[in-house]
């Protein structure tokens, strides 16, 4: 192995020059921006940011299936080893599996993943021993002035130590859910697993089979597939309907790239909106209070199923930050996002068994609770129909400069009436606006239009809500088509 160079670098200087930035969940950038030294700088700065709050000598690392992820993990591990920190490498597993294992060991962890963003990008997610880092932690990482040794020799990357995979985290993640059920409650159910390149694709079939279901694997891919659970492609919509017709599935389960956001279709092959899935899961869990992003469907409040619902900025750190406040008044606290990720903010009991809190996005819990609820209801679609008091739709314009999105939001937040007229709504007025995150406009007919720059990629997202599904979808199409021509 090549001897690592002794050139000293400073974390904040390396990160400032990298072009990598924090988004709604983790640091994201182009693959070429995540050089070994940039990965090292992030790892060292992360440790520096939390070392005064936590005592640890071990840190866990896992990766998704992107080709660049393993080398990034090697760089993080090499830098940490130089600090005297042992790294546990859990291989390719879902982000919540890594977070859960680390929390049980009271150690921090780093997930190398770009989640759903395009193939030419990647990212890093950081977890303290008690869960996801906060926005204050993000700033501490970027501002850290810790020194570290470059991972380059004569301007060439060093040959880094091979990482040995520990299987403990995936076993603990499976047992977290299998231990809740004394009998295979999914016996007689047929579930399709759309595997693509998901980090959890090797775990989901054995999980559902042990719960009693017959499982059919669908479209495993050796090429990374950027599944966005919040903006499902027309191709994936068609696939689900075709698969359901062919196999007579009771459900189809999939996730985004790192397995923290679920994508679930009912028995008819209709993909569920993430906030409706979260609503059904929270009701099944008997949660007292919720924290959800401002973009979530208002069926949550209209359901009258919860003692309190607080709305936050979009991004799991904001949802998690609200848990501490809610926990002062309520016994059970949870949250979810329009993209489907469910966050369990407090310990809870299912079938007389304790389920530990997992305050990070998880794809498996909402899937299991939905399937459990569907046993009594007969199918998933009837559950969805009963709770869908309002209908949401969303889509995005890709390759839309973040600066351009931000300028639109800034300008029209001050003049929402001008935006509505520009979009072609001549006979409708503005009832109210919400600038919690982006620009959310409630129209006089109670339809909602919400524009927001993506926090992870150069995309402009549009969310819409109406009393019927067709109108919500039409609103999104109309708004994005018009903005594309501006």
Which residues are the active-site residues? 115
In contact, 26 and 121? CB cutoff 8 Å: no
In contact, 176 and 79? CB cutoff 8 Å: no
Tokens encoding 133: 């880092």
Count of Cβ atoms closer than 10 Å to residue 55 Cβ: 8
Rounded to a whole number, what is the distance in angstroms from the first to the last CA of the chain? 55
Angle between helices 201-210 and 168-178 (to 10 degrees): 30
Q: Quote the CA–CA distance of 446 and 432 in Å, as a whole number.
A: 10
Long-range contacts of 67-74 (CB under 8 A, 24+ apart): 67/224, 68/31, 68/34, 68/122, 69/112, 69/113, 69/122, 70/112, 70/163, 71/36, 71/160, 72/34, 72/39, 72/112, 72/122, 72/124, 73/110, 73/112, 73/163, 74/36, 74/160, 74/161, 74/162, 74/163
Residues 6+ apart with CB under 8 A from 243: 192, 194, 218, 249, 252, 269
Tokens encoding 71: 């080398």
Q: Quote the CA–CA distance of 359 and 301 in Å, as a whole number.
A: 22
């Amino acid at each position: 192995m090549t001897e690592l160079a002794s050139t000293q670098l400073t974390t904040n200087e390396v990160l400032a020059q990298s072009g990598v930035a924090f988004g709604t969940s983790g640091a994201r950038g182009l693959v070429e921006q995540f050089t070994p030294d940039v990965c090292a700088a992030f790892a060292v700065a992360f440790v520096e940011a939390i070392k005064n709050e936590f005592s640890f000598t071990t840190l866990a690392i896992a990766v998704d299936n992107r080709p660049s992820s393993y080398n990034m993990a090697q760089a993080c591990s090499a830098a940490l080893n130089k600090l005297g920190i042992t790294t546990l490498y859990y291989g390719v597993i879902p982000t919540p599996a890594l977070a859960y294992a680390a929390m049980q060991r009271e150690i921090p962890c780093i997930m190398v993943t770009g989640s759903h963003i395009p193939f030419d990008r990647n990212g890093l997610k950081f977890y303290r021993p008690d869960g996801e880092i906060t926005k204050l932690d993000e700033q501490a990482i970027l501002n850290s002035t810790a020194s570290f040794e470059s991972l380059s020799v004569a301007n060439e990357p060093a040959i880094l130590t091979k990482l040995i995979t520990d299987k403990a985290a995936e076993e603990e993640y499976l047992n977290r859910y299998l231990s809740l059920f004394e009998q295979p409650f999914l016996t007689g159910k047929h579930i399709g697993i759309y595997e693509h390149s998901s980090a959890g694709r090797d775990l989901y079939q054995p999980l559902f089979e042990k719960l009693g279901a017959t499982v059919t694997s669908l479209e495993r891919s050796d090429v990374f597939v950027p599944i966005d659970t919040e903006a499902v492609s027309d191709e994936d919509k068609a696939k689900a309907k075709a698969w359901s017709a062919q196999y007579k599935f009771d459900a189809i389960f999939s996730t985004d790239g790192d397995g923290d956001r679920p994508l679930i279709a009912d028995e008819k092959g209709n993909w569920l909106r993430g906030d409706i899935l979260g609503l059904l899961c929270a009701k099944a869990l008997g949660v007292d209070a919720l924290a959800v992003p401002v973009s979530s469907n208002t069926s949550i409040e209209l359901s009258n199923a919860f003692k309190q619902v607080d709305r936050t900025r979009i991004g799991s750190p904001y949802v998690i930050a609200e848990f501490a406040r809610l926990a002062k008044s309520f016994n059970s606290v949870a949250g979810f996002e329009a993209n489907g990720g469910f966050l369990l903010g407090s310990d809870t009991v299912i079938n007389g068994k304790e389920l530990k809190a997992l305050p990070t996005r998880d794809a498996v819990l909402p899937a299991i609770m939905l399937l459990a609820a569907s046993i009594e209801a007969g199918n998933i679609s009837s559950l969805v129909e009963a709770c869908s008091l309002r209908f949401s739709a969303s889509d995005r314009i890709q390759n839309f400069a973040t600066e351009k999105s931000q300028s639109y939001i800034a300008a029209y937040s001050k003049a929402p009436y001008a935006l509505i007229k520009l979009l072609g709504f001549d006979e409708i007025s503005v009832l109210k606006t919400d600038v919690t995150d982006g620009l959310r406009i409630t129209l006089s007919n109670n339809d909602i239009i919400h524009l927001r720059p993506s926090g992870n990629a150069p995309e402009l997202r549009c969310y819409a809500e109406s009393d019927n599904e067709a109108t919500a979808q039409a609103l999104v199409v109309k708004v994005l088509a018009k903005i594309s021509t501006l």
